Structure 1
Amino acid sequence: MRPVLVYTASRIGLFVVAAGLLLLLGVQNLLFLLAASFLLSGIASYVLLSKQRDAMSARISDRMGRPEQHDD
């Protein structure tokens, strides 16, 4: 579960950083700020978080491939 948490926290962090930078640049419109932050953080995460994304997808595929154990 750790790779999923790391990736999610990193995505949220990039969103907050993008929103902060746009606020510093003087963006006042809340809707535009949220949309632009979402877009910028998505592009940045595609470039910067490829290793974390690969680790997360490997973790999820491992979990999906294993059968569940039932205690009878």
Structure 2
Amino acid sequence: MHPVLVYTASRIGLLIVTLGVLYLLGLQNWLLLIVVSFVISGIASYVLLSKQRDAVSRRISDKVDRPKPNDH
């Protein structure tokens, strides 16, 4: 599967899980729930998704470094 899709799906999954856990723990203010979930899931993704992030970086780097055909 495409590394960007895997990484994006993983980030969204972490956000949803974090939202659910915080909601079940009693955080009822929706704005605060969303903000705290973004922060926690961002930190968690930095730690948990390093392999996926590296795969995305390699994929992007390979595409940028690929020689382009001349338009002559």
Question: Displacement, 1:65?
Answer: 1.2
Distance 1:51 1:29 in 2: 34
Matched with 2:19 is 19
Other structure's SS at 1:28 match: coil
Q: In structure 1, the residue corresponding to 2:28 is in which secondary structure?
A: coil
Aligned residues: 72
In the alignment, structure 2 segments of 5+ residues that lack a partner are: none
Q: State the TM-score, normalizing by the size of structure 1.
A: 0.90
- State the one-letter code of the partner of 2:17: V
- Report the identity percentage: 67
Map 1:32-71; keep pairs closer than 5 Å: 32-69=32-69
* In 1, Cα distance between equivalents of 2:9 and 2:33: 20
Q: Deviations over 1:12-53 (max 9, x none)?
A: 000000000000001111110000000000010011000000
1:66 Cα deviation from its structure 2 partner? 1.3
- Runs of 4+ aligned structure 1 residues displaced above 6 Å come to none
What are the Cα deviations for residues 45-72 of structure 1, in whole angstroms up to 9, with x where unaligned? 0110000000000001111111345798
When normalised by structure 2's length, the TM-score is: 0.90
